[in-house]
């Protein structure tokens, strides 16, 4: 089979779907099928590439939704095209059947956490996207259940757990932090659903009993939250450092040196930083909601993401109990091994030949 992968989310973003698209594409090399990338720029992968105009790839291009800017892929003899971002290439191509990857329905389930344009786009396009595709693949059972509950389509739904990037092979640079003080790590885009406000409140309660540890926050600036304002208003702001978006070598350093990571999102369709931390041998505190309980499988400490004192107590426990950290490191590494991109491609290939 010849399968197209629409890589525009990788080209134009840096968050979760971008990482997913990149690693999906890089993992197709050993498939018996031929995977071809499609987008406005050829990325550094050896796949055959179909170059398309940037303006046509834009989700703001209303002409494509009116059927006036379709790109005919018939001559490329593609059996399927993978749409890695819900409706990223909806109404863009003529020819192959679409396979839609659904990561979560949070813009629909929790609209107050998202930009209004994202909420409107999901309300207008998600149902149409799922109706018009051949197959739907979700990244977790939790997301699969959400899709069935809100849209149905159970007959064309499958769940495949994605792989998680392995930062252990990334070459390290010199560690940049001048302080040797122990620190807790939080990784995730700065937006309301990631729950940074509650994290900082819990860290303040933690600091009443712990006088040494810092909190490092990593992630692109997103929407509806000013992380710098949250830090400035904290009574322990001097012990909180916002590092912004960091490179893979830098992130590897942070995971490898952190006491533990904390990922108390209010809801996730999957939760890549959780498993990424486990793979790097960094113990994890996470949320007991959404998919996080599903994918951690008892290899993390799970807390109510709205309960400040419960979060703080778990932070205190993990910061002071070296044996517990060792136990979680072993369990986390074992859990992380279950999420491999080679397995994802094998399962994806099997579904596409059905």
Q: What is the DSSP string of 161-220?
A: PPP---GGGSPP-----S----EEEEES-BSGGG-HHHHHHHHHHHHTT-SS-EEEEE--
- The 10s digit of each residue's pLDDT in 239-279 is 999 999 999 899 999 999 999 999 999 999 999 999 999 99
Sheet with 260-263, strands from edge to edge, namely: 240-244, 214-218, 183-187, 260-263, 284-287, 301-303
Please report which confidence band the pLDDT of residue 354 belongs to, taking 50, 70 and 90 as the band edges: confident
- Asked if the model's pLDDT at residue 229 lies above 60, the reply is yes
Q: What is the mean pLDDT of residues 30-50?
A: 95
Please report which confidence band the pLDDT of residue 324 belongs to, taking 50, 70 and 90 as the band edges: very high
* Cα–Cα distances in angstroms (integers) from residue 303 to residues 202, 230, 268, in the given order: 12, 22, 14
Tokens for 47, please give them.
């796949």
- The 10s digit of each residue's pLDDT in 111-163 is 999 999 999 999 999 999 999 999 999 999 999 999 999 999 999 999 999 99
How many residues would you count in the chain? 354
- Asked if the model's pLDDT at residue 178 lies above 60, the reply is no
- Asked if the model's pLDDT at residue 166 lies above 90, the reply is no
What's the mean per-residue pLDDT of the chain? 94
Interacting residues of 303 by C-beta distance below 8 A, sequence separation 6+: 264, 285, 286, 287, 288, 310, 311, 314
Helix, strand, or coil (residue 38): strand
- Asked if the model's pLDDT at residue 66 lies above 90, the reply is no
Note the pLDDT of residue 60. 83
Please report which confidence band the pLDDT of residue 3 belongs to, taking 50, 70 and 90 as the band edges: very high
Tokens for 270, please give them.
């999957």
């Amino acid at each position: 089979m010849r399968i197209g992968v629409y890589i525009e989310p990788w080209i134009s973003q840096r968050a979760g779907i971008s990482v997913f698209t990149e690693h999906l594409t890089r993992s197709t090399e050993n498939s018996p099928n031929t995977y071809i990338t499609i987008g406005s720029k050829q990325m550094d992968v050896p796949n055959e590439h179909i170059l398309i105009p940037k303006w046509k790839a834009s989700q703001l291009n209303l002409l494509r939704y009116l059927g006036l800017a379709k790109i005919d892929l018939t001559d490329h003899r593609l059996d399927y095209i993978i749409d890695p971002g819900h409706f990223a290439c909806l109404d863009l191509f003529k020819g192959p059947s679409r396979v839609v990857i659904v990561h979560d329905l949070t813009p629909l389930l929790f609209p107050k956490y998202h930009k209004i344009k994202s909420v409107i786009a999901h309300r207008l396009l998600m149902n149409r996207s799922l109706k018009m595709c051949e197959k739907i693949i979700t990244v977790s059972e939790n997301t699969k259940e959400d899709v069935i509950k809100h849209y149905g389509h159970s007959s064309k739904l499958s769940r495949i757990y994605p792989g998680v990037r392995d930062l252990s092979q990334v070459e390290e640079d010199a560690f940049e932090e001048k302080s040797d003080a122990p620190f807790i790590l939080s990784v995730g885009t700065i937006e309301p659903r990631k729950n940074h406000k509650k994290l900082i409140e819990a860290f303040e309660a933690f600091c009443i009993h712990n006088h040494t540890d810092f909190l490092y926050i990593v992630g692109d600036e997103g929407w509806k939250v000013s992380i710098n304002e949250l830090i400035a208003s904290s009574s322990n702001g001097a012990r909180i450092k916002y590092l912004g978006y960091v490179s893979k070598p830098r992130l590897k350093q942070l995971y490898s040196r952190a006491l533990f990571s904390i990922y108390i999102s209010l809801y996730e369709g999957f939760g890549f930083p959780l498993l990424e931390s486990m793979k790097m041998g960094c113990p994890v505190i996470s949320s007991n909601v959404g998919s996080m309980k599903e994918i951690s499988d008892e290899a993390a400490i799970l807390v109510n993401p709205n309960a400040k004192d419960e979060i703080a107590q778990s932070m205190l426990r993990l910061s002071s109990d070296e044996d517990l950290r060792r136990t979680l490191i072993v369990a986390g590494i074992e859990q992380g091994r279950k999420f491999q991109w080679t397995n994802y491609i094998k399962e994806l290939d099997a579904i596409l030949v059905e």
